[in-house]
Amino acid sequence: MWAVARDMKRLEALAAQQDRITPFRCDVSSDADRAALVEAAGPVDVLVNNAGLGYSGMVETMPAFEVRRLFEINVLGVIDLTQRVLPGMLARKRGHIVNVSSVAGYVATPPLTVYAATKFAVNGFTDGLRRELAGRGVSVALINPGPVNTEWGPRSMGYLPVEGAPEVKGVGVPAWTVSHAIARSITLAAVPGWDTIAVPRVAGLVRLITIPILTRLVDGSAFASRTITRSNP
In the predicted model, is pLDDT for residue 231 greater than 60?
no
Model confidence at 232, pLDDT cuts 50, 70, 90, reads: very low
- Please state the pTM of the whole predicted model: 0.83
Summarised one tens digit per residue, pLDDT across range 66-122 is: 999 999 999 999 999 999 999 999 999 999 999 999 999 998 888 999 999 999 999
Given this model, what pLDDT does residue 200 score?
Answer: 72
All structural domains of the chain, each given as residue ranges with its CATH number in brackets, are: 1-42 (no CATH), 47-223 (3.40.50.720)
Burial of 186 (0-12, 13-18, 19+ CB in 10 A): middle
Q: Give mean pLDDT, residues 186-202.
A: 85
Beta-bridge mates of residue 138: 95
At 142, which helix (H) or strand (E)? strand 138-145
pLDDT digits (tens, 9 = 90+) for 54-66: 999 999 999 999 9
Let me know: does 141 contact 197? Beta carbons within 8 Å: yes
Bridge partner residues of 5 (DSSP): 25
Average pLDDT, the chain: 86
pLDDT at 143 over 80: yes
Looking at 55, 106, 115, 159, which residue is catalytic?
115
**In the annotation, is 106 catalytic?**
no
Instruction: Return the higher-pLDDT residue of 116 and 152.
Output: 116
Q: Tell me the mean pLDDT in the region 178-199.
A: 90
pLDDT given for residue 212 in this prediction:
56
The proportion of the chain whose per-residue pLDDT surpasses 70, expressed as a percent, equals 85
Q: How many CB atoms lie within 10 A of CB 26?
A: 23
| Cis peptide, bond prior to residue 111, ω within 30 of zero | yes
